[in-house]
Amino acid sequence: MIKKKLLTAVAIFTTLTGLTNISRAQSETKFIQDNLALCQKQVKAMLASKDLAANTFPQTIKDGKLRSGTLYEWTTGFFPGNLWYAYEAGKDAGLKAQAIQWTEKLAPLQTFTEHHDLGFMMYCSYGNAYRLTQNESYKQVLINSAKALSTRFNPVTGCIKSWNVFKSWHGKESYSYPVIIDNMINLELLFFASKVSGDTSFRHIAVTHALTTMKNHFRPDNSSYHVVCYDDKTGKVLARETAQGYADNSTWARGQAWSIYGYTMTYRETKDPRFLKMAQGLANYYIDSKNLPADFIPYWDFNANQAGYTPGVNSNANKINVKYRDASAAAVTASALLELSTYTTGQTAKKYKDAAVKMLHSLASLEYFAATGSNADFILKHSVGSIPHNSQIDVPLVYADYYFMEALLRYQKLNAGLKLY
């Protein structure tokens, strides 16, 4: 009798546990679907906005209105990318047509060589366009873009030059070969081009850049410097400073996010365990930081306004006492962690996925997700462009929306038991 009761109790517990897990999965499925539907609604509203000009690309808000940038600004690829993600989420033919139209406006950039952001500009737009349409002409545009980006690589420094010049916040010093952590994201364009063209030089540049960055851009605790300046004749590191972070020795939140994303992607493309170890160390720094708020949406810099961290004399960060949040950093990190969780196992994988899901739920809350008809139709609020430059402070940013949608779509695949790649 006792044995029978015990078996019955086990059966009931198993059934209830199974129902709980099913219920939780159903709840998360609805969370994803609801938020993707809201994202599509916001994207469509922006397309209909009277402030959306035909030949400029949405960036942020200024004076309460939509602010767009020219073709050559680093953010141009994100709005077409948002259209592709919105189309992917709902298979709306009208959104696909708009995505094609806005993507093809970027065609002149395939020979652009003036800065490193060609990966953002072309892979977020044409990369998604090719993935979702298999249009062969898009593949050639991406190969041409990779060729253009490759012109900024110097084998002496072992990395791709980011900007043409970097002016220090400390005074009049300037550097002619700056490399920023953001550059890790642009390597995805090179890996793609190598695979589809058979040209191994693209892959060589990407791997070399990742290894050089791994050597020079990080501290022993796996926090990241923003800018590393090189001597292009000797390859020597001349300075490690910040452009958009609080101080040279601080950790700019979106920079850390770029690094997590970049090394996770580089591991995907190479399966080199050094890159996986790097990605995990960078992710652990973010998740385990005592300076990370409870909702996992970071302050714009992990060390802002703390003792021992001093901005350069010319930095606007000296004038800012508010510790602003940066939703864009959380969106990038959430997307990266979801992918990283698939390359790890057990409690480590759970740690990364749980952190990503927590970020997504925070971003989807009323605190960060804009109400319909507000926020100039951007999806997320409370991002930071560059406090040192006194630019785009506590505003929506188009790339925050891009990586939020990307993370939701990745979560949707994982929730359905599908592979990301």
Tell me the per-residue pLDDT of 293-320, one tens digit each, with 9 for 90 and over.
999 999 999 999 999 999 999 999 999 9
Q: CA dihedral defined by 280, 283, 285, 289, rounded to 10 degrees?
A: -140
Whole-number pLDDT of residue 374: 95
pLDDT at 26: 81
Active-site residue numbers? 117, 182
Which pLDDT value is given to residue 21? 65
Burial-class residue 361 by CB neighbours within 10 Å (0-12, 13-18, 19+).
Answer: middle
Instruction: Report whether pLDDT(73) > 70.
Output: yes
**252-303 tens-digit pLDDT:** 999 999 999 999 999 999 999 999 999 999 999 999 999 999 999 999 999 9
The answer to whether 134 and 119 have CB atoms below 8 angstroms apart is: no
CA distance 406 to 415: 14
pLDDT at position 24 is 72
Asked if pLDDT for residue 8 goes beyond 60, the answer is no
Average pLDDT over residues 231-246: 98
Spatial separation of the C-alpha atoms in residues 326 and 323, rounded to whole Å: 10
pLDDT tier for residue 14 given thresholds of 50, 70 and 90: very low
pLDDT tier at 371, thresholds 50, 70, 90: very high
CA dist 302 and 291 (Å) reads 6
Average pLDDT of the segment spanning 391-418: 98
Provide the pLDDT for residue 119: 95
pLDDT at 5 over 90: no
* 72: pLDDT strictly greater than 80: yes
Tokens coding 366: 């009323």
**β-strands 57-62, 65-69: how paired?**
antiparallel
| Buried-state track 259-295, b at ≥16 Cβ within 10 A, e below 16 | bbbbbbbbbbbbeeeebbebbbbbbbbbbebeebeeb
Taking residues 32-45, what's their average pLDDT?
A: 98
pLDDT averaged over every residue in the chain: 95
Sign of the dihedral defined by the CA atoms of residues 308, 311, 312, 313, in that order = negative
Residue 18 has pLDDT above 60, yes or no: no
What is the DSSP secondary-structure string of 141-192?
HHHHHHHHHHTTEETTTTEE---S-EE-TTSS-EESSEEEGGGGGGHHHHHH
SS3 106: coil
What is the tens place of the pLDDT at every residue in 97-118?
A: 999 999 999 999 999 999 999 9
pTM score, whole prediction: 0.94
Judge whether residue 13 has pLDDT over 80. Answer: no
Rounded distance, CA 107 to CA 84, Å?
Answer: 16
